[in-house]
Amino acid sequence: MVCAVSALVVGLLSPADTSQEAWGLAAALGYGCAALVAARSSAPWAPAPAVVAVVGAVVVPLVYLTVISKEQMEVGVVERAADLLFASGTPYHPTPHVVRDFNPYLPGMALFGIPHMLFGESPFTSARLWFLVGFLAAVAGAIRVLTNGRETDAGRVSTPRGVTGRTGVLWLIACPVVALPLTIGGVDPPVIGLMCLALAFTQRGDAGRAGLALGAAATLKWTAWPAIPVLVAVLAVRGGQRTAAKCAAGTVGIAVLAVLPSALADTGAFYRNVVLYPLGLGPTASSAQSPLLGHLITVLVPHGKAVTMALIVLSAAGVGLSLLIRPPRSAVSGADRLALGLTLAIVLSPATRIGYAIYPIILLTWPRFAAALSAGVLGKQSHGTGRRLTSGRDGAYQPVGFLSYRSPWPAVHPPSAATTAAPSRSPLITCQRLACVSERALACNARTTEGC
């Protein structure tokens, strides 16, 4: 019901005849139907209301907006970026004047516009559709990583509350901060999807693939870059400096290879589009004008832009210092630290959108679900092999002696009750008892032989 009210507010407060208005009014009805189904369900996170919410808040509005050819401006920006990339070697307009001329995204985002460039205007070549495909592929990959690469486990293994991997993905898609950009063509879902994939690899201890996934996200948008020091700090604590360096090398290497050629091809265009315009420091005002603290400081305080930049630098320095003083020890705590840093940046930025809330909200919820699902997978493996689970130093559960999964983090085995409660005995008493047991066994064996 909270989602229905939120969607209705979006629909009523959005400008008339926009994709946001159409989504809000349609999604409010879909969330209302899902609330009725959830009220009749015995489980709190059942799959049935999640399916209804996805259909009502994503599928129906997406089909409707596609039919009437209404989409967010970012879709056209990305499609034009692909045209420019193949025509001039850089996805940025050299002399942008109006808002539609600017491309505030990194060069990797232009890949989502390639189908439109190759095959022309079509519902199947729209960048909006490929944003959705990229997000779903990243999240599906994350679930596959968490379930040890077995697709069948995604529908069987569940968290302690009974939520399977597939049901968790449905609830993630149904979340309003995800459903809205997926429907109208926002660019943030594939970025946060790749960040979720990187966190899943971090949860499983695969530093190399975590770096590759995060590097792919870092080629799309600046919002993925703050995750680099956070994940490196997590992996340094859990796996050592070599593990952290492996992740950092993969991430920075991919990002630099993708960004540097476009930046060198036309440095001025890159600086105007990717640095000045997103921060609201260029001559053309950004379309992101949500009334958050940074925007209000810029409007109401003298030299407001300089003040907001100083506050952003101080907040980034504070979060970075916390990584050195008290580094996060798990993917969950690392995601919490990253959510804090991004929230401060979103609130203090002079040009921002409330829609950027997709980052802190997903970062605060998804890693907890991932950790619970990973524990469910290990619990199922332990139950099937008769092995017991012990708690690792990062709080995750590991099966002792289980051969098909070897955790990269050393497990800390708590002392058993028998070990802690039993008093120490001298070697002489122990040897006497062993001798007594051996004599009894030999006598029993002799009687058995005589009986035969």
- 230-266 per-position pLDDT tens digit: 999 999 998 889 999 999 999 999 999 999 999 999 9
Predicted confidence at residue 422, as pLDDT, reads 42
For position 134, what pLDDT does the model report?
Answer: 96
pLDDT band at 115 (very low <50, low <70, confident <90, very high): very high
What's the CA gap between 381 and 61, in Å, rounded? 41
pLDDT band per the 50, 70, 90 thresholds, residue 63 = very high
* Rg for the chain, CA atoms, rounded: 27
Residue 420 class from Cβ within 10 Å (0-12 exposed, 13-18 middle, 19+ buried)?
A: exposed
Which range is least confidently modeled, 217-231, 396-410, 432-446?
Answer: 396-410
- Give percent above pLDDT 70 in the chain: 79
Question: Per mean pLDDT, which range of 51-65, 87-101, 278-292 is the poorest?
Answer: 278-292
Question: Is residue 415 over pLDDT 90?
Answer: no
Name the token pair of 311: 């506050």
pLDDT tens digits, residue range 140-160?
Answer: 999 999 887 655 445 555 666
Rounded CA-CA distance 102/152 in Å is 44
Round to whole Å and give the CA distance between 185 and 182. 6
pLDDT at 376: 65
The model's pLDDT over 155-197, given as tens digits with 9 standing for 90+, comes to 555 666 667 888 889 999 999 999 999 999 999 999 999 999 9
- pLDDT at residue 298, rounded to an integer: 81
What is the pLDDT at residue 381? 55
Beta-sheet pairing, 389-391 with 397-399 = antiparallel
Q: If pLDDT is split at 50, 70 and 90, which confidence band does 349 have?
A: confident
* pLDDT above 50: residue 88: yes
pLDDT of residue 436: 46
Q: Hey, what amino acid is at 446? A: A
pLDDT of amino acid 438: 42
pLDDT band at 306 (very low <50, low <70, confident <90, very high): confident
pLDDT value at 314 more than 80: yes
Q: What is the pLDDT of residue 432?
A: 45
Query: What's phi and psi for 424, nearest 5 deg?
Result: -75, 145
Q: Residue 1: what pLDDT?
A: 78
Task: Return the minimum-mean-pLDDT range out of 119-133, 173-187, 263-277, 346-360.
Answer: 346-360
CA nearest to 225, candidates 203, 205, 248? 248
What does pLDDT average to over the chain?
A: 81
Token digits of residue 13:
């407060």
Of 378, 418, 417, nearest in space to 394 by CA:
378
The burial class, CB within 10 Å (0-12 / 13-18 / 19+), for 386 is exposed
Per the DSSP assignment, residues forming a β-bridge with 398 are 390
Q: Which residue has the higher pLDDT, 5 or 386?
A: 5
450 pLDDT exceeds 50? no
For the stretch 337-345, contacts whose Cβ atoms lie closer than 8 Å and that sit 24 or more positions apart, written own/partner, are: 337/230, 338/226, 338/227, 338/230, 338/363, 339/363, 339/364, 341/226, 341/230, 341/315, 341/316, 342/223, 342/226, 344/312, 344/315, 344/316, 344/319, 345/226, 345/312, 345/315, 345/316
pLDDT at 419 over 50: no
Cα angle value 423/429/430 (rounded, 5°) = 80
Residue-level pLDDT at 156:
58
Q: In the chain, what is the straight-line distance between the N-terminal and C-terminal CA atoms, in Å?
A: 78
Nearest residue to 314 via CA among 330, 295, 296, 294: 294
Q: Which residue has the higher pLDDT, 89 or 291?
A: 89
- Considering only residues 164 and 5, tell me which one the structure prediction assigns the higher pLDDT: 5
The pLDDT of residue 289:
66
